Amino acid sequence: MWAMIGTWRMALEAIDQVVKSDECKKDAGSAIVKAIKQIEDFEYFKSVGYGGLPNEDMDVELDAGYMNGDTLAFGAIMAVRDIKNPIEVAYALSKEYTSCLLASAGASRFARNHGFQQKDMLSPRAKLHYLKRMKEERQVELKPYIGHDTVGICALDEKGSLCAGTSTSGLFMKKAGRVGDSPILGSGYYADSDYGCCSATGLGEDLMKGCISFQVVELLKQGIPVQEACSQALQALHDRLLRKQGKVGDLSIVALDKNGNFGVATNIDNFSFVYASKTQAPTVYLVKKQNGKMELEVASQQWLNDYLTTRMAAIEL
């Protein structure tokens, strides 16, 4: 068996590519890196790589993380500027035993020293988004903007290896130096080939309060089926946050068990994800909440097209 699951509809083309190239069968880790790299390079996705939205100073600061579930090795970078493909750097850092989580200038230096490509990551389009927001209300609550797009991918290959990776520009207009869940092991991603893997998207500050990805893998370890593990972990965190702080941010997760079955959970109404496996072509699902229960619906071609049209529409200042 092999399988891949990725957050949001935007993972479709990238997962499709690695499925076509058979990468996902052979090596879960390199399938994740290739897929995420493709998403980082596509400038119309607003939360990942080139085209990612800037912080309050109009600087694009990127976070990425990667974990190998066979060895529990992980690598991550945070608040890094001017690196074209953060996921590649996170992957390279997972080969290190120490200093595998690097921040800002140190992360950039590691990337430069290891020959990773540098690039000015503020795209003209992201700049327009920034200028538009500056014209609008300035004091809006910082939260994942409508249609946020952090990518998190989990994969299982035919050798039985499970890996997880993430890449994001984080929250639009975040404070300089702000870091979310995406590079934080156990929050944005976690993988253990004995049990399963999980990745998260949403409001990093709230996701981190539950170490949500680690929590899901712990539930899998207890023998709880993957869908139940996701629903249980997410609902528990949602309820706990509501009780303790009176509000809850967007929380969404995707997971695989060691047999390639998927689980997903969200507390928002517009979450979408992509799943592919040995027995299923890459499929985009929309998660609909009905009377407190989650229902999955396969996205129509019209919906898929509209998503891209919206992402690529001209920005009026």
Q: Spot the catalytic one: 71, 98, 150, 166.
A: 150
Cα separations in angstroms, 211 against 40, 251, 266:
25, 12, 15
Q: Between residue 139 and residue 178, which ones bind ligand SD4 under the rule CB under 6 A?
A: 144, 148-150, 168, 170-171
Give me the least distance between CB of 273 and ligand SD4, in Å please: 12
Place of tokens 């690039």: 119
Applying CB under 6 A, which of residues 201, 231, 272, 277 lies at the interface with ligand SD4? 201
Amino acid letter for position 311:
R
Give me the least distance between CB of 210 and ligand SD4, in Å please: 13
For residue 130, what is the DSSP state?
H
Active site residue 310: no
Could you say whether residue 123 binds ligand SD4 (CB under 6 A)?
no
Place of tokens 């998190």: 152
Give me the least distance between CB of 188 and ligand SD4, in Å please: 7
Q: What does residue 68 show for φ and ψ, rounded to 5 degrees?
A: -100, 115
Amino acid letter for position 23:
E
| Other Cβ atoms closer than 10 A to 128 | 14
Applying CB under 6 A, which of residues 204, 260, 263, 282 lies at the interface with ligand SD4? 204
Applying CB under 6 A, which of residues 23, 27, 43, 181 lies at the interface with ligand SD4? 181
Closest C-alpha to 12, from 263, 308, 278, 270 = 308
Of 190 and 195, which has the nearer Cβ to ligand SD4? 190
Give me the least distance between CB of 282 and ligand SD4, in Å please: 20
Could you say whether residue 6 binds ligand SD4 (CB under 6 A)?
no
Of 197-205, 262-270, 282-290, 305-313: span binding ligand SD4 (CB under 6 A): 197-205
Percent helix, strand and coil across the chain, each to the nearest 5: 35, 25, 40
Q: What does residue 263 show for φ and ψ, rounded to 5 degrees?
A: -135, 155
Contact present, 307 and 12 (Cβ < 8 Å)? no
User: Can you tell me the distance from the alpha carbon of 115 to that of 98, in angstroms, rounded to the nearest whole number?
Assistant: 20
Of 203 and 284, which has the nearer Cβ to ligand SD4? 203
User: Can you tell me the distance from the alpha carbon of 124 to that of 122, in angstroms, rounded to the nearest whole number?
Assistant: 7
Q: Between residue 49 and residue 78, which ones bind ligand SD4 under the rule CB under 6 A?
A: none
Of 75 and 170, which has the nearer Cβ to ligand SD4? 170
Residues that bind ligand SD4 (CB under 6 A): 47, 144, 148-150, 168, 170-171, 180-182, 201-204
Instruction: List the catalytic residues.
Output: 150
